[in-house]
Amino acid sequence: MNRCVIFGGIDMTDDSRIRAALRPDDFILCCDSGLRYAERLHLRPALIVGDFDSHAKPETETEMIVLPREKDDTDTVYAAREAVRRGFEDFLLIGVTGRRFDHTFGNVSLLLWLDRMGKKARILDDYSEMEMVSRTPVEISGDYPYFSLLNISGTARGITIRGAKYPLNNAEIPSDYQYGISNEVLPGQTASVTVQEGCLLLVKVFAG
């Protein structure tokens, strides 16, 4: 099945980075004011979800799910749940991190939720690319000046980092001591990260 790309309503200014990340067969799902991206990038959404508190409800023939404004799930969380219900296994979330830390953290937690269901998912913004490292080892190219490994759930054990300035071997990172910040890929190498127990949030930073 094609990848589901979910556009949230938080502004991302680097359109070239968005275009480079998109694929022709992506299923485009816009959440409320995430419709701005579709309009700006001349994309045609396959599905629109939202309570339309930050964007006018569009007059369109595109499939649309209108949500109440008072609800447990944010528009983005509902969109992710709906995409999982429709069978998607691969996700890219754009415009879901920004000035509101509460919304940002909630949306980053979606990566954890999707990972626990065996889905592949990442978040893209102007500054970084995020994904979970759990069952499958992850490689990091030298295209990223820095990368960080953060624990947002319990304790991760059996962590091994190779090809980086600060390597680890069978280490442990708890959620109350985040010492895996600002590592660097060694020149001419590709770093690798494995986790034997638990999971870590990998943040690959585009610029210092």
* Tens-digit pLDDT profile for residues 142-152: 999 999 999 99
Q: Is 3 within 8 Å of 26 (Cβ atoms)?
A: yes
Query: Using 50, 70 and 90 to split pLDDT, how confident is the model at 74?
Result: confident
pLDDT tens digits for range 44-68: 999 999 888 777 677 888 899 988 8
Amino acid 26: pLDDT: 97
Residues near 143 by beta carbon (within 8 Å), at least 6 away in sequence: none
Cα gap 144→204, rounded to integer Å: 6
Amino acid 127: pLDDT: 93
**Looking up tokens 């004011």, which residue turns up?**
33
Q: Longest Cα pair distance anywhere in the chain, in angstroms?
A: 56
- Enter the DSSP assignment of 34: G
Domains (range + CATH), the chain: 4-126 (3.40.50.10240), 133-205 (2.60.120.320)
